[in-house]
Amino acid sequence: MNVIFLAPNYPSEMQHYTRGLAEVGARVLGVGEAPLESLPESLKGHMASYLQVPRLLDEDDVIARVEQWTRGHTIARVEGLWEPVVILAARLRERLGVAGMSLHTVRGFRDKQLMKERVAAAGLRVPHSAKCGTEAQVRAAAEACGFPLIVKPIDGAGSADTYRVDSAEELDRVINAVRHIRVVSVEEFVDGEEFTYDAICVDGKPVYENVAQYLPRPLIARSNEWISPVIITIRDLKQAPIAEGIAFGRKVVRALNMGTGFVHMEWYRTASGEVVFGEIGCRPGGAHLVDQMNFTSDVDLFREWARAVCHRRIMTSTPRAYNVAIIFKRAQGQGRISRIDGLEAFGSRYGKYVVADTLSAVGTPRRNWKNTLLSDGFLILRHPEFAEAKRIAEAAATQITLYAE
């Protein structure tokens, strides 16, 4: 089975999906920008062939090159899990006559306004919003929505270039900040707790599901340098508030005509208990969320995604045993990491719960926290009780401090 996989090297977690495809019997045909000789040996060992292209986001050029490269070969699947290439994957399917989600369907996962329109058409609650390509449209949408509101790219991912706006004065500043973005979404700000709904689907039916909670909401974490963002996967999916979010996520998946693969959705629960749609992508969550999901159930979802894609099934019946928290750390100061306070004491008390530690070592240059959620490394820990997992995560967030100078 020949499977074209776009961007097998970047982001780095794509290497795990490449491995997963190879492990379930696929002949992986990788397409990326990096020279073959620069790729890790482990990645090269999981690919049957590799096509280097000048610019992966030059869709017309990539389609022409892939069409010539694969002439005479039968392609079973075309997959791309990095957000910027999901449209390219859909276009390649249509050009090569390969089964999978159409361009029409995938656009509903990329264009945030179209996405909300399709979800709302299914009778589901979405934030009021407008698609804006000019300053005048932004101002008109803001007047219609009222403050507070959110301004973000129409096809963005994560919280990059996303702003909460509370007044006309703030709107002036945000308009200047987003001038480099061609089209933005202006939408109602929904006040509530923020969660994810993650699933592997086979022909539109979720066969693996997960919910995680953001602490605090990503927009708050992205706006305050001192915060150590935390994400916790939730072990018990049957508790009423979480089960309502799962039921909502399933309806969204149907409304958007999801096919086979990963989905990652954000949703809100307001103080009144209302469940409100945020946004969704036809790809896995980033920031090591899939690693968290693996630790939650002791599974390998990189491989199970590949099994779903290639064989329309998964092989994981392992129960959810843990709540798993990831804590991202940001160093104080500038320059290189000079010391880490509190880590030894934290390890002495909670080390048995820690399953991953990637904190930047002393001497490592501090990263720009605005450019990457991963910042200066992270800890992953797990515990069977949610309250305890949250408490330990909060201890890591507040008691461990990295300094740079």
SS (H, E, C) 377-405: CEEEEEECCHHHHHHHHHHHHHHCEEEEC
Q: What is the mean pLDDT of residues 359-386?
A: 95
CB 13 within 8 A of CB 290: yes
Percent of the chain with pLDDT over 70: 99
pLDDT, residue 154, reads: 85
DSSP 366: P
Distance CA 137, CA 181 (A): 14
Distance CA 266, CA 211 (A): 9
Hey, which CATH number is domain 323-405, 3.30.1490, 1.10.357, 3.90.1170, 1.20.50? Answer: 3.90.1170
Residue 158 pLDDT grade (very low, low, confident, very high; cuts 50, 70, 90): low
Distance CA 58, CA 381 (A): 40
pLDDT, residue 273, reads: 94
Q: Which parts of 97-239 fold into alpha helices (H)?
A: 103-110, 112-121, 135-145, 168-177, 218-221
Residues of the chain with CATH 3.90.1170: 323-405
CB 324 within 8 A of CB 232: yes
pLDDT, residue 317, reads: 75
Residue 148 pLDDT grade (very low, low, confident, very high; cuts 50, 70, 90): very high
What are the tens digits of pLDDT across the range 261-290?
Answer: 999 999 999 999 999 999 999 999 999 999
- Would you tell me how many other CB atoms lie within 10 Å of the CB of residue 122? 13
pLDDT, residue 361, reads: 96
pLDDT, residue 370, reads: 84
Residue 373 pLDDT grade (very low, low, confident, very high; cuts 50, 70, 90): confident
Q: What is the mean pLDDT of residues 133-140?
A: 94
What are the tens digits of pLDDT across the range 17-32?
Answer: 999 999 999 999 999 9
Residues of the chain with CATH 3.40.50.20: 2-100
Q: What is the torsional sign of CA 345, 348, 352, 356?
A: positive
Torsion over CA of 225, 178, 147 and 119, rounded to 10 degrees?
Answer: -100
Average pLDDT, the chain: 96
Which residue has 């932004």 as its token pair?
Answer: 138
pLDDT, residue 165, reads: 94
Residues of the chain with CATH 3.30.1490.20: 128-188
Domain at 191-321: CATH code = 3.30.470.20
Distance CA 109, CA 258 (A): 9
What are the tens digits of pLDDT across the range 296-342?
Answer: 999 999 999 999 999 999 997 779 999 999 999 999 999 999 999 99
Distance CA 402, CA 360 (A): 9
Class in CATH terms, 128-188: alpha beta
Tell which residue, 77, 36, 75, has the closest CA to residue 53. 36
Q: What is the mean pLDDT of residues 6-13?
A: 96
Residue 34 has pLDDT above 80, yes or no: yes
Domain at 2-100: CATH code = 3.40.50.20
Residues 6+ apart with CB under 8 A from 238: none
The strand order across the sheet containing 184-188 reads 129-132, 184-188, 149-153, 163-165
Distance CA 185, CA 130 (A): 6
List beta partners, residue 324: 233, 382
Q: What is the DSSP string of 184-204?
A: EEEEEPP-EEEEEEEEEEETT
Q: What is the mean pLDDT of residues 60-69?
A: 98
Q: Is 69 exposed, middle or buried (0-12, 13-18, 19+ CB in 10 A)?
A: middle
Q: What is the mean pLDDT of residues 215-236?
A: 94
Query: What is the pTM (predicted TM-score) of this model?
Result: 0.92
Distance CA 266, CA 252 (A): 11
What are the tens digits of pLDDT across the range 65-78?
Answer: 999 999 999 999 99
Residues 6+ apart with CB under 8 A from 360: 331, 337, 366, 367, 376, 377, 402
CB 28 within 8 A of CB 10: no
What are the tens digits of pLDDT across the range 243-265?
Answer: 999 999 999 999 999 999 999 99
What are the tens digits of pLDDT across the range 107-119?
Answer: 999 998 999 999 9
Residue 379 has pLDDT above 80, yes or no: yes
